[in-house]
Amino acid sequence: MKQKREERLRMKNKQVKNIEHTLLSDNYYILNKVTFDYLMKSGEWVNQMREVYDRGDGAGILLYNKQKRTVILTKQFRMPTYLNDNEDGMLVEVAAGMLDKDNPEDCIIRETEEETGYRLKSVKKVYEGYSSPGVMTEKMHFFIGEYTDDMKVSDGGGLDSEAEDIEVLEIPFYKAVDMLHSGGIMDTRTIVLLQYAIIHKLID
């Protein structure tokens, strides 16, 4: 199995060989030390090491209402940001979640209802990209979706079973843009999707 995996990877990039994984932690997600040989432009093979965190892939969505000129965002405590210069640890974000065994579209529709209480009928995928390619395997799928008041089926707020404590924010689009420019929004997924909304004039 290991040999077949290496052969498959070598077919993709002939500059990489001798890939070795050493498990460092699987307490929540998976952290591996990965060593490999990499062929430099000079023609020299160099042994390199990376710590690689595998938490699966994710999806995020910007909910918007053209008539009301509003967007739905969430606010919750994020410990890693609290440890790195975010005074109260609270972060304003788009609704987002991790893919389980479902596809990105089904995932984001499910996560939207759990977090915001809105049951979407359809979504549109606009981007996909790697969240932090130097250390994480995660690929993020970016969506937009129109919402209306009649799609509200619950208060949202996340799942008690996952100890989620999410505040749902319905705010004017112009205010979200102001927060983006003033530093009130610092989540990369949210920045990407608000910039998409601005560029594509989702809300005039």
DSSP H helices, the chain, are 2-12, 79-82, 104-116, 173-182, 188-199
Q: Is the Cβ–Cβ distance between 171 and 185 less than 8 Å?
A: no
Confirm or deny that 128 is annotated as ligand binding. Answer: no
Handedness of CA 135, 73, 68, 65 (dihedral sign): positive
Confirm or deny that 59 is annotated as ligand binding. Answer: no
Q: Pairing state of beta strands 58-65 and 70-77?
A: antiparallel
Q: Is the Cβ–Cβ distance between 57 and 98 less than 8 Å?
A: yes
Please give the single-letter amino acid code of residue 23: L
Could you tell me where the beta strands, DSSP code E, fall in the chain?
16-25, 30-39, 45-54, 58-65, 70-77, 90-93, 95-98, 124-130, 139-146, 167-172
Tell me the sheet residues that pair with 75: 92, 167
Confirm or deny that 163 is annotated as ligand binding. Answer: no
Confirm or deny that 162 is annotated as ligand binding. Answer: no
Pick out the residues of the known binding site for Mg(2+): 96, 111, 115, 164
Cite the annotated binding site by residue number: 96, 111, 115, 164
